[in-house]
Amino acid sequence: MESSFLGQILDILKRYWPSLALGIQNTLIISLSGTLIGLCIGLIVGGIRAIRLDYTASPAAVFGKKVLDRLGKIYIDVFRGTPMMVQAVFLYYALLNVVHWNKLTAAIFVISVNTGAYMAEIIRSGIQAVDIGQTEASRSLGMSNIQTMMNVVLPQAVRNAFPAIGNEFIVNIKDSSVLMIISIADLMFQAKSIAGSTFQFTATYGITAAIYFILTSIASLILNSIERKMNASSTSFPQSDTDPSNMVLATENAGEEHYE
């Protein structure tokens, strides 16, 4: 029985490896592109939601902030509160006659906007984890809210949130399997086609599970390596005197010495 099962696996790998390789390629393209684009969306939405206006803000700016906050919350609630499979079917067919996109583009779009909703909350949490004193010190140096966010807060927020950002990439590798609902030729779609042709469902999906495990394990190793390098670079190398965050820390230290 075991030799028969092993023989089925070897036979499937020998006969259908090109199809599986294409599925792996499309899965990685979709998950990586979706994660990067989703991160960009999350930086914008999360940054807008986390930014705080001070008393010098005009009424128009305050009104605009409230509108953007409301739109951002609706976006996050909708895409976090509905299954990605439903989103894929709805968006693909709803926009098909408008943008005339192919299935790969549609799959990347769906996973990007879905990931963006989660990234927005990850970035917002990362921003809120940054010491408020650095923001206040930046403002005391004459920086605007945008300059403070871009030069001081966001770099630290992304570094703090990197483990969660990396986890989203790993999740996307697995969750991209639901996009076979729009017939994108990812790994899961290819596995379904192979299983339907050979009727060897256990062997086929066993191979598929092993491939997903290998992909996520390699991704975890790479992300952990990047995280270690980021942490090492942030602790081992001093910042330059012209670095805004260094200026902020210097201002805070000067303030502490002044009040001693």
Q: What is the pLDDT of residue 212?
A: 96
* Closest to 249 (Cα-Cα) out of 147, 126, 133: 133
Distance CA 222, CA 220 (A): 5
pLDDT tens for each residue of the chain, 260 residues long: 445 888 889 999 999 999 999 999 999 999 999 999 999 999 999 988 887 776 677 888 888 889 999 999 999 999 999 999 999 999 999 999 999 899 999 999 999 999 999 999 999 888 888 887 877 787 778 777 777 777 888 888 888 889 999 999 999 999 999 999 999 999 999 999 999 998 899 999 999 999 999 999 999 999 999 988 887 876 654 444 444 444 444 434 434 443 34
Distance CA 81, CA 100 (A): 27
CATH fold of 2-259: MetI-like fold (1.10.3720)
pTM for this structure? Answer: 0.82
Distance CA 170, CA 111 (A): 13
Q: Where are the domains of the chain?
A: 2-259
> Which 3-state string (H, E, C) describes 127-188?
HHHCCHHHHHHHHHCCCCHHHHHHHHHHHHHHHHHHHHHHHHHHHHHHHHHHHHHHCCCCHH
Distance CA 199, CA 83 (A): 29
Distance CA 54, CA 223 (A): 37
